[in-house]
Amino acid sequence: MLPRSLLYVPANRPLLFAKAAAGPADAVVLDLEDAVPIADKSTARLSVREFLDSLPDVPNGAQIWVRVDPTSLDADVEAVVRLGLSGILLAKCSIDALDQLAALLDRLEAERGVTRLPVVGLVEDAAAILSLADLARHHRLTTFAVGEVDLLGDLRLARTPDTATAVVDLRLQVVLHAAAARLPAPVAPTSTDFRDLDTFERSTRELVDLGFRSRTAIHPGQVPVIHHVLAPDDGQIATAQDVLDRFNAANGGVTVDANGRLIDAAVIRAARETLQRA
């Protein structure tokens, strides 16, 4: 499974790296794309590389991911593919960018003894929405994430109560194509309003109901909310375990749950996922 929470940290703020990695997030995403002014890119790459190389000395359990910029992919990837890297977020994901990234990773992973890195492609423009089926079949793509601010901007779509259904439809397309390609559940978009945690909790629940199982954050305060919402409650865990116990006791025969409903393959998959999330 992917990390539940992925906390963005600007890659030109190296003093924040270790603090973020020692915090509550499952993963820290050192951001080499939008968060870094062009003039600071080279210095930011060096900071990320030095931090990744220092990880054996950093006492933390957080995964370290990097968001790379497709307009400077060679330089970004060359700098960050190190033994300490856990995964890559590809901004403005496209087939051309995935192909270029795949070639770079195949070479650098072999040269540096790095285990095959997961790649999460950010869906951030209209072209990516129209290419979801092709993107989902790419051999280096692990799953999608949604960069919703950029996506809505590219579509010239305002976020209002009147457009809420359209936004949900865009999210569902990402979930649909990930599921159809048997990819892990996609990563949900974050909220830039990091002070309103009540709304953030409510929107996280909505995103989980839509089929997302991870979420990005831009502030550490959002991370506990993500974990709380994504964790099944005691009742859900007990129900899932009961379903599996009944299924196993039936030895492949037909059986029903505590409410008399047929336990089929879909119910088993849902129960296993609930226990895995727990």
For the stretch 43-57, pLDDT in tens is 999 999 999 998 865
| 130 neighbors 160 (Cβ within 8 angstroms) | no
| pTM: predicted TM-score of the whole model, two decimal places | 0.89
User: DSSP string of 83-130?
Assistant: TT--EEEETT--HHHHHHHHHHHHHHHHHHTPPPPPEEEEE-SHHHHH
Cα separation, 179 vs 185, in Å, equals 7
Q: What is the pLDDT of residues 86-126, one digit of tens each?
A: 999 999 999 999 999 999 999 999 999 999 999 999 999 99
pLDDT at residue 257 tops 80: no
The dihedral through the CA atoms of 143, 70, 78, 4 has a sign that is negative
Share of the chain above pLDDT 70, in %: 98
Average pLDDT along the chain = 92
pLDDT of res. 58:
53
1 confidence band (pLDDT: 50, 70, 90): confident
Given this model, what pLDDT does residue 147 score?
96
176 or 57, greater pLDDT: 176
Alpha helices of 211-233 — where are they, by DSSP H?
223-230
Q: Give residue 233's pLDDT.
A: 75
Could you tell me which residues are beta bridge partners of residue 188?
Answer: 215
Q: Is the pLDDT of residue 64 over 80?
A: yes
In whole angstroms, give the CA distance from residue 51 to residue 108: 18
> 112 CB contacts (<8 Å, ≥6 apart)?
81, 82, 83
4, two tokens: 């539940």
pLDDT at residue 132 above 60?
yes
Is residue 166 scored above 60 in pLDDT? yes
